[in-house]
Structures are given as structure tokens and as C-alpha cells.
Amino acid sequence: TLARHDPDCIFCKIIAGQIPSKKVYEDEELFAFHDIHPAAPVHFMIVPKAHIPSLAQATEADGALLGRIMLLAPKLALEQGCNPYPEGGFRVMVNTGAEGGQEVHHLHVHVMGGKRPWSRG
């Protein structure tokens, strides 16, 4: 079974407050913070506090956790200044593995939005 916390993981350190971040949200099992290199006017990430390396390691037992992330995304998106659906909206993205473009190996859900054009994508 996987450790809940990886002492070498940058996102575990952010969750623990050992590395500063611009926090958007926190509860017992989730943490959200702004991306240090935003690819859109609004760009934050929602992460489980438990160290799951990627979506490829999520199991049936993580189903409710993943569902909570998906339902939190639209709430936080509006709070962070994304415009309302359908004219506004936001993008949810989970890079997984090297070919999926994943650079940090702690599961994270990108939420991006705001007026276009964006700097990337």
C-alpha cells in the first residue's frame, strides 16, 4: 500500500506548509493552490492530501475522493474569477505519466479559466 505522505514530494511539502503556496481551499482530504506558472488568467490545482502518484494509481477506494475533486472544481473556479457557464467556464486537466505531460508525481487536477486568449492552450 502507498504511503500517505512522501517526504521528497514537492506537493506533499506544499500541503504540509513546508513550501509556501497561494492556497485556494483546504479541508480534511483536499488542498487547492495556485499554479506557480499559470497557463490561463485563473489557474489553480486541486490535490488529495494523500500522496497518490498519479491517476494511474487511483483505485476504487479513491472514487469518492475523485468525485469530490470534480464537484469542488466548479465552485472554486467561480470563486477564483472564472466566468459562469456557458459563456465562461473552465478546463479541468489531469496530466498522467511522462507521455501525459506529468511533471509532479502527486495526483493533481488543473483548473484553468478566464478570458481568452490564454498563454498556453
Site residues (CB under 5 A) for Zn ion? 6, 9, 11-12, 51, 106
For ligand 5GP, the closer CB: 43 or 82: 43
34 is a catalytic site residue = no
CA atoms of 92 and 43, how far apart (whole Å): 10
Within the chain, how many helices (H) and strands (E) appear?
2, 5
DSSP notation for 22-48 = -EEEE-SSEEEEE-SS-SSSEEEEEEE
For the CB of residue 49, give the shortest distance to Zn ion in the complex, in Å.
9
For the CB of residue 54, give the shortest distance to Zn ion in the complex, in Å.
11
3-state secondary structure of 112: strand
For ligand 5GP, the closer CB: 7 or 84: 7
For the CB of residue 23, give the shortest distance to ligand 5GP in the complex, in Å.
10
* CB contact set of 106 (below 8 Å; sequence gap of 6+): 6, 9, 10, 11, 12, 47, 51, 52, 53
The catalytically annotated residue of 43, 51, 106, 108 is: 108
Residues interacting with ligand 5GP, by CB under 6 A?
Answer: 10, 19, 21, 33-37, 95, 101-104
For ligand 5GP, the closer CB: 24 or 87: 24
**Active centre residues (catalytic):** 108
